[in-house]
Amino acid sequence: MKNVDGSQMEGGGQLLRMATTYACITKTPVRVFNIRGKRRNPGLRPQHLATLKAAAMLCSADLRGARLGSTEIELRPDALRGGNHSFDIGTACSVSLMLQCLTPLVIINNESSTLSIRGGTAVKWSPPIPFLQEVVYPALEEMGADLDLRLGRHGFYPRGGGEVTVNSRPVIALRPFLPDSPCVDEIKGLSICGNLPSHVAERQARTAEKILSRQNLSSDIAVETVQSSSPGSVIVLWAEGAGVFMGSDSLGDRGKPAEKVGSEAAKSLIYQIQIGANVDRNTGDHLVLPCSLADGVSMFRVSELTLHTLSAIAMAKTFTGCTVDVDGKIGKPARIEIKGIGHVA
């Protein structure tokens, strides 16, 4: 049994999610203790509990200690299975963080899978669903993943109520991630507001377009006004071109002008594009796990090396013994090379 200290490195929910994913894929029993040990309210919160139970269902695992507030769990997985599965987080907590754990389980699988999940689709401290659709999942598809992510209903804080569906076809093994030299042709985006006047989404988009144009970056940002359980807004931008899987986003908030929302997303993406990286700082986190399982050596440049990425690398080494070379420092651009173990479903 692998023992994972959930207070190491960044000390948050990412360590629990990655330990769970690796355990299910490699059929390795795992004990995670000091769960979220560096957070103000350590232990399992509703989102982590829902994710654990969902992962356990996908591999018919024996799960112990899974209750709200628990700081220690044990997971003894059986074989992964496909099929149709529905999960309800029960709060506005992030669907995308649940998918960070579950997506690899349905990618490297002998059977097709459909996941239907209810929860928050654009909430703090996690990538909005359109970011996964336009940046993260295309990067996974470069590695051979066969995925389709659909957003049926948007869900903002505090009620959530968003609806997301993922369809995945069988993939026996993943290819290494080896993007070409980055070349940005255009910036695309989506500016959304739910249960708010349409001008909110329009102002977010127009502000972002103006800032991007000052850097000679052409852009095409769609505007959507949608129905949602709670009012909210978000803008997601992404780069189109060869060898680049990069995006940014910004959430609206009470008292936060729409112009600031659009400006934050545009300035973040401009900064990361100018570095000349293949992936943004958040997408880098998502790639470590699949690269560690891929058949071959993955190599890419990330716009900023974060503690989250280093935590992901530590978990990859713990569960797979893969070789990882990082050329860069925290807070700076970095080149990451990962020799995968060639895991086969």
Q: How far apart are CA 46 and CA 158, in angstroms?
A: 14
| Cα-trace Rg, the chain | 19
Q: How far apart are CA 109 and CA 80, in angstroms?
A: 7
Cβ atoms within 10 Å, residue 101: 24
Residue 154 catalytic? Answer: no
Q: How far apart are CA 343 and CA 120, in angstroms?
A: 32
Which residue is catalytic, options 48, 286, 308, 343? 308
Query: Is the sign of the CA dihedral 254, 224, 182, 290 positive or negative?
Result: positive
State which H helix or E strand residue 7 sits in: none
Active-site residue list: 308
